[in-house]
Every structure is written in C-alpha cells, then in structure tokens.
Amino acid sequence: SYPARSVYKLKEMDKRFGLLKPGMKALDLGAAPGSWTLYAAERVGSKGIVVGVDLQETDTKFPEQVRFFVDDVFEPRAGFRNALEEVAPFDIVLSDMAPKTTGNKFTDQARSANLVEEALALVQACLINGGNFVVKIFMGPDADAYRRELMQHFRSVKTFKPKSSRSESKEIFYVGLGFKGGRGAQGA
Ligand code: SAM
C-alpha cells in the first residue's frame, strides 16, 4: 500500500503513456509522503534509480534504489545537488509539487506558476534527450502559456485530468513526451 491516495494518478498516466520501465532513472519533485516515489521505484526496479525531493520529511520506507532528500527546489543544498549531478541524465522527471495555499487566488496562482517553471528548469538541466516529463499545474491564466512553452521542448504534450475529488478539482497534469533538448542519444 502507498502513503497517499494520489498514487492512482501516476498509475493511470503510466498505463496510458507507458512512462516507467525497468532500469530507468527518475526524478520525483514534491515527493512526500512518497507514493509516487514508491510506485516509480517498483516500476524501475532494483537496477533503476529514483531521486525524490520534498520540503517535508517522510517516514515512508523506500527500497534501496530510492534516494530521498528534504530540500527546497528553489534553493537546493549540496546533498540534492550532488545527487542530481551524479545520477543525471534522468529518463523521466515527475512533478506533483503544489504550493501551500494561502487562500489568496493571485498569490496561489503565482506560487504555482513559479513551481512549474522551476520544474521545467530542472528538466532542462537534467532530462535526457527523448525523455518524458509529468507536471501538475492548477488550471488558471498561466496554464495555457505553460503548455505552449512545453510544446517547444517536447515532441508532444498530453493533458491528463484525474477523476476529480473536490479539493483537487482544479489540478491537471501535462505530460511532455520526447524531450528535444538535453544530453543523450542524439547528441543534442
Ligand atoms: N506525489 C506525492 C505522493 O504521492 O506522495 C504527493 C505530493 S504533494 C501533493 C505536493 C508536495 O510538494 C508537498 O509535499 C510539498 O511539500 C511539496 N513542495 C511544494 N513546494 C516545494 C518546493 N519548493 N520544493 C520541494 N517540494 C515542494
């Protein structure tokens, strides 16, 4: 079993888009309490690697192929930075990050926009050419522009709407398939 219900979203996207395979290296942003990390670890298996990061600690017990860091993606410290450098290029970057909501619509939207931009910056720094990217975004004025931005970096961009529960009704996922930048096979 998984520490958070949200695992079903990643499972569904994995089934639909064939995202995770044995031996892959995955980066999981906003990983606590650890459901996505755990699921990804099962899928990549003992020859794969999952690097997870979150502002919050978790007591979830992960298998050996997981390296979990308590850190802020906006201000990464040495431990997480070194792990990124060691493990990169990643085959896939997952971001289920969500800001702490303030109740102020504009503040919340701005924070959400900053998070998805930071996730894309990490993609550009460490995703392999041809790799995939899953990112949660809250529907709002910035979502379309962000999708267009993704379309410049990926061969295709899919939209995934999880069956909504009330609190999550505004969240959608973009799935970027086939990263056009980065290091890798095509030597880009
Ligand atoms: N995917 C996780 C799972 O299945 O267990 C759930 C993730 S939860 C919806 C969103 C997470 O994003 C929170 O745990 C939050 O702490 C994290 N987060 C928000 N801002 C962050 C930041 N700047 N750096 C790292 N993690 C962040």
Q: Is the CB of 50 under 6 A from ligand 1?
A: no
Does 62 map to a domain? yes
| CATH code of the domain in which 75 resides | 3.40.50.150
Name the DSSP letter for residue 88.
P
Does 1 map to a domain? no
Q: Is the CB of 93 under 6 A from ligand 1?
A: no
Residues 141-188: tens digit of each pLDDT:
889 999 999 999 999 999 999 886 565 568 999 999 999 987 654 544
The mean pLDDT value for 124-131 works out to: 96
Please tell me the distance from the alpha carbon of residue 188 to that of residue 181, in angstroms, as a whole number.
6
CB 183 within 8 A of CB 42: no
**Edge to edge, what strands does the sheet with 127-138 contain?**
66-70, 49-54, 25-29, 90-95, 127-138, 171-179, 154-160
Taking the centre of ligand 1 as the mean of its atom positions, its distance from the CA of residue 94, in whole angstroms, is: 11
What is the three-class DSSP state of 102? Answer: coil
Does 185 map to a domain? no
* Cα 134 from chain centroid (whole Å): 5
Ligand 1 atom nearest residue 28's Cα: 1
Does 23 map to a domain? yes
Whether this model's ipTM surpasses 0.95 comes out as yes
Domain that holds residue 26: 7-179
Does 15 map to a domain? yes
Closest Cα to atom 25 of ligand 1: 54
Does 108 map to a domain? yes
Q: Is the CB of 35 under 6 A from ligand 1?
A: yes
CB 23 within 8 A of CB 95: no
Q: What confidence score (pLDDT) does residue 27 get?
A: 98
Residues 48-107: tens digit of each pLDDT:
999 999 999 999 999 999 999 999 999 999 999 999 999 999 999 999 999 988 888 888
Please tell me the distance from the alpha carbon of residue 116 to that of residue 85, in angstroms, as a whole number.
21
Say how many domains are in the chain. Answer: 1
Taking the centre of ligand 1 as the mean of its atom positions, its distance from the CA of residue 44, in whole angstroms, is: 21
Does 18 map to a domain? yes
Does 184 map to a domain? no
Q: What angle do CA 14, 17, 21 make, to 5 degrees?
A: 55
**177: which 2 tokens?**
């398939």
